[in-house]
């Protein structure tokens, strides 16, 4: 299947939304992924864990269609993402995926409100409507009072909440977060994770987090542990009620 076809059959809650089979990816002589098979259900919250250099961030980038594997396939609903061209993968990332990074990556010259509105404007939404929708998300993330501030005027936690609002403003089906609390102190990190998991749960957004921190992982439904480019046996068992 080479064309985007996620609308053909959208998985229901509990059905598999993301899956991989036999993923291999190397960077020169470095084998980052060595045959990874996994499944992630719609509306599930998953933490991908592992030491530095284990391949966990590479796995997230392959799941999101940023990188393509050397071997194996990535499926999103009925779409084989790993068979799409770059243009189709870019459209998929814009329409269905959201991203949160360790340092937020907000544009320093723009206000918090304008930062959040960028994905909507890129998608062609009229500015007035985009700003109204963005302000609503800032309110939901409890940072609406800081809408006019520049990123340099925000605390670390506030900036990360703005970044989360920007990631969720397009109502993505999947939110990918790479070390979203890595630059925050423990108390702020807990507040951000509570907000992130509550909002994604309320919107039935699938959440895939890369983290090395056990406390951050504790906010998810289960952990997938990656070591040396492989998923550790028995590491993908559901662990309900952890919070």
Q: Is 100 contained in some domain? A: yes
- pLDDT tens column, 124-178: 999 999 999 999 999 988 899 999 999 999 998 899 889 989 998 988 999 999 8
- pLDDT tens column, 76-124: 999 999 999 999 999 898 889 999 887 668 999 999 999 999 999 988 9
Rounded to 5 degrees, φ, ψ at 13 are -60, 135
Q: Is 240 contained in some domain? A: no
Q: Is 29 contained in some domain? A: yes
Q: Is 3 contained in some domain? A: no
pLDDT of residue 156: 87
- pLDDT tens column, 210-232: 998 889 999 999 999 999 999 98
Q: Is 133 contained in some domain? A: yes
CA distances from 173 to 18, 43, 131 (A): 11, 8, 21
Q: Is 9 contained in some domain? A: no
CATH of the domain at 61: 3.40.50.300
pLDDT of residue 14: 63
pLDDT of residue 104: 66
- Structurally, how many domains does the chain consist of? 1
CA distances from 109 to 98, 153, 225 (A): 22, 11, 38
pLDDT of residue 183: 75
Q: Is 67 contained in some domain? A: yes
Distance CA 173, CA 17 (A): 9
Residue 224: give the domain boundaries. 16-231
Q: Nearest CA to 20 among 89, 72, 58, 68? A: 72
Task: Decide if 82 contacts 69 (C-beta within 8 A).
Answer: yes
């Amino acid at each position: 299947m080479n064309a985007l076809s996620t609308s053909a059959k959208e998985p229901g809650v509990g059905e598999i939304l993301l899956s991989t089979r036999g993923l291999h990816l190397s960077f020169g002589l470095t084998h980052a992924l060595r045959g990874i098979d996994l499944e992630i259900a719609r509306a599930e919250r998953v933490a991908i864990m592992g030491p530095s250099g284990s391949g966990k961030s590479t796995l997230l980038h392959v799941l999101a269609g940023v990188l393509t594997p050397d071997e194996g396939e990535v499926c999103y609903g009925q779409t084989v993402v790993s068979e799409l061209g770059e243009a189709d993968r870019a459209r998929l990332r814009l329409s269905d995926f959201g991203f949160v990074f360790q340092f937020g990556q907000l544009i320093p010259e723009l206000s918090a409100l304008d930062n959040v509105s960028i994905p909507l404007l890129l998608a062609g939404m009229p500015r007035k409507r985009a700003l109204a929708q963005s302000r609503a998300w800032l309110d939901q993330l409890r940072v609406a009072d800081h809408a006019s501030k520049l990123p340099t005027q925000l605390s670390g936690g506030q900036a990360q909440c703005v970044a989360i609002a920007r990631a969720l403003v397009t109502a993505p089906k999947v939110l990918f977060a790479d070390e979203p609390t890595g630059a925050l102190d423990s108390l702020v990190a807990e507040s951000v994770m509570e907000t992130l998991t509550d909002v994604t749960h309320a919107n039935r957004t699938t959440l895939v987090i890369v983290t090395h921190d056990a406390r951050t992982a504790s906010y998810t439904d289960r952990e997938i542990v990656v070591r040396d480019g492989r998923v550790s046996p028995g590491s993908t068992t559901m662990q309900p009620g952890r919070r």
